[in-house]
Structure 1
Amino acid sequence: MQGHSHGHHGHRHASHHHVFAWAMWINLAYSGIEAGFGLATNSLALISDALHNLGDAVGLALAWGAAWMASQAPTERHTFGWRRATQLSPLFNAVLLVGFSGALLWEAIGRFQNPPQVPGALVMAVAGLGIAVNLGTAALFLRGQKTDLNKRGAYLHLLADAAVSLAAVIAGLGIWWRQWYWLDPLTALLVALVIGIGSWHLLKASFMQAMDAVPEGLEKGEVEAFLQARPGVVAVHHVHIWSLGAEEIALTAHIVRDTVDGHDGFIDATNQALQERFGINHATLQIELGESCHHDHHDHAPHH
């Protein structure tokens, strides 16, 4: 006998994918403005930051596309739908962040030899606008970034943008006030290190999700112990836990019970308890009878 359940709140991200579109267009518009000022004043700092923001707009476009794909209904061919897109998008986003931090680090080291004489006041003004733009768009993702890696990727990316803009403001102030042109490569160097360290966790988390690892914050042993303690349960085996997509956690398990009574009620109550205690909202339980069962010891993860 099998039972399965999945909560509807796991689909909420489908109705909120428009925030990625807003964030993308805002960043795209700001990138154009910043690039225009950079070209007009021959400011490499502004041009570089504009290219960075353009890369962010591309990352947001990936997240937007992933959120839209995840909202599509399952088909005969793709029975889980396209929810996995919300795991692949932050993986690509994290790769972009790590790649950007490396490129920025390389550029910053090169600039120490011959720092460009950028107009400090203009750098401060345009970068200050960048702080407002990036923090404002990051706020769009604040609520959902703790449970949705797709949103977390966008959120961290935008915070990184704000850090870059803040560093540019500080550099611009030093250049304008003291003609300390070496501040430009120094702040870029520090920002590259901060972004690289911060994006590493996202890269690891998104890669682990893509490889069907147990979601962060869950321990397989605790879930097994919980199932083992349910009424009438003799043994639990073949337990698999993985993320289907944003805010959706799946579980499959074989449960051996010593009674044939009340299976339907047992399954319903267990599924509800799994969702309330662990956030597992797509559980499939297979009930087996008897005080012992004979099965192979090679677990096979479900195909999806």
Structure 2
Amino acid sequence: MDHHHKQENHKGHSHSHTPKITSLNKAFIIGIVLNLGYVVFQVIIGININSLSLLSDAGHNFLDVAGLALAMLAFKLSSSKASEKYTYGYKKSSILISLLNSVILLISIGAIGYEAIFRFQNPQPIPGKIIAIVATVGILINGISAFMFFKDKEKDINVKSAFLHLASDALVSLGLVVGGILIHYTHLYWIDPLLSLIVCFVIIASTWSLLKDSLRLSLDGVPDTVDLNEIKMQILKIDGVKDFQHLHVWAISTTQNAMTGHLVVSANLSNIEIENIKNKIKHELEHLNIHHSTIETNFTIPENC
């Protein structure tokens, strides 16, 4: 059996399709500073008026500040250089941090839900007007912060995580505004925990997909932006390709994907012709969200994996 084997690492073309999000460092810093300042503001007011809702929301916001800091760390680590021990650098850490971020967000939601249930059983008189005013400030701060991440939220799972953190904070603040106004005029103190529970369900719905995505990527699952059938179909259209098997795709980071596969070609092709086929394949892979590829060439069809 005539067998030719060659591995080739794709280093990227000048027209790389890797999402570019190099300008987000300032957004992370501004988001962290604004939200940390708001947490301090909430704690001071919450203690002065003895408001458990403001204090619990301050705790939730503080967890989100920590989440933003982790996302910024992941953003920096994703651009790390390769070394002898870490041949892809620390790019994978961005996936692990996105998983941690989603877990933190769910934990914070659980804390809010627990507090809401407790307050259903033990409603306490609270100054609704002051709560509404403080929460309005929260809507502005979190809305501005979320807007800075909106356009890039589909390019990186950590950016999406940061956006969801801030958007969820804005929703919580909106719920507190509505609850504060209703409480001020009706004195129905059970309205506040009810709104908190509704907001929790809204946040869970948006966070669940983030948790699933980050968990799948951490287990080297196929990223959402990659279609294995489309990859194989486009490769098989290239002249000279007999088959393409043993196809595996995984995420190196939250913005870069890798692929390995067996290219099956005719035995009578020259090395130059094979290299030309590989170059065409790599060009197609650039358009299919594959940024690093290793291709093994065979002259006979390998057995199925």
Fold conserved (TM > 0.5)?
yes
Letter of the 1:72 counterpart: S
- The 3-state SS of whatever aligns with 1:5 is coil
Instruction: Give the Cα separation in 1 of the matches to 2:136 and 2:296.
Output: 58
- The 3-state SS of whatever aligns with 1:266 is helix
Instruction: Give the Cα separation in 2 of the matches to 1:224 and 1:177.
Output: 63
2:234 to 214, 220, 226: 226
1:23 to 3, 11, 31: 31
Give the Å deviation of 1:166: 0.3
Letter of the 1:80 counterpart: Y
1:141 to 140, 149, 163: 149
CA RMSD, aligned part only? 1.7
Aligned length: 294
Give the Å deviation of 1:264: 2.7
Partner of 1:263: 274
Instruction: Give the Cα separation in 2 of the matches to 1:177 and 1:250.
Output: 58
2:293 aligned with 1:283: yes
Instruction: Give the Cα separation in 1 of the matches to 2:212 and 2:86.
Output: 26
Moved more, 37-46 or 204-213: 37-46
Partner of 1:5: 11
Structure 1 unaligned runs (5+)? Answer: 299-304
Contact 2:56 2:112 in 1 (8 A): no
Partner of 2:285: 274
Letter of the 2:233 counterpart: A
2:97 aligned with 1:89: yes
Give the Å deviation of 1:279: 1.8
2:260 to 205, 228, 252: 252
Which stretches of structure 1, 4 residues or longer, exceed 6 Å deviation after superposition? none
Contact 2:146 2:166 in 1 (8 A): yes
Percent identity of paired positions between Structure 1 and Structure 2: 33
Moved more, 279-288 or 123-132: 279-288
Give the Å deviation of 1:88: 1.1
Contact 2:21 2:155 in 1 (8 A): no
Instruction: Give the Cα separation in 2 of the matches to 1:75 and 1:205.
Output: 28
Instruction: Give the Cα separation in 1 of the matches to 2:22 and 2:86.
Output: 17
Moved more, 7-16 or 38-47: 7-16
Q: How does 1:196-207 map to 2 (within 5 A)?
A: 196-207=204-215
1:156 to 164, 184, 192: 164
